Copies of this chain bind each other. A is one copy, B any other.
Amino acid sequence: MAHEAPFQLLHSELIHYICKSADSTDSENGRSVTKLENMGFRVGQGLIERLTKDTARFKDELDVMKFICKDFWTCVFKKQIDNLRTNHQGIYVLQDNKFLLLCHLSAGKQYLEHAPKYLAFTCGLVRGALSNMGVKSIVTAEVSVMPACKFQVMIQKV
């Protein structure tokens, strides 16, 4: 019964709060997105700590990514990633065909420009989770048709 609702509504409220003053030059918009990304990063760090408390060691990078797509995604968004692709050279694309945090936006193109605000937190979330598992990355997101979206993870070799 609406288990995902508290998180989703709080996330919307957060965006509203952080972006409201930004009405809004591009640089202000950029700052809002960065703030959201940073908050996601810290939440991702905390979350992955709890989720991996009792898991076995991960075999490799792909094993880590699968954990993000299944257990981690299910915990936050109540569904798994629908498709995971990789070029086996450090780039992963995670596709969610019905992304929770876009579900309440209209599917047309009208709100497409607002999508970055609704994805920034999650980019940070993934980056924070990976970071706590020793994987440094850059995470970006793109939307073509809402509520589907793709997250691209570029692993930064140390």
Task: Give residues in A with beta carbon < 8 Å to B.
Answer: 1-3, 5-7, 9-14, 17-18, 35, 39, 42-43, 46-47, 50-51, 71, 75-76
Q: A32 to B61, alpha carbons, bound, how many Å?
A: 41
Q: Are A50 and B10 in contact (CB under 8 A)?
A: no
From B7, B35, B42, B50, A7 is in contact (CB under 8 Å) with B7
Counted per complex, copies of this chain come to: 2
Note all chain B residues with C-beta closer than 8 A to A39.
10, 13-14, 17
Instruction: Return the chain B residue nearest A43 by Cβ.
Output: B9
User: Which residues on B sit within 8 Å (CB–CB) of A11?
Assistant: 10
Specify which chain B residues have a CB less than 8 angstroms from the CB of A42 in the assembled complex: 9, 13
Q: Pick from B6, B43, B50: contact of A43, CB below 8 A.
A: B6
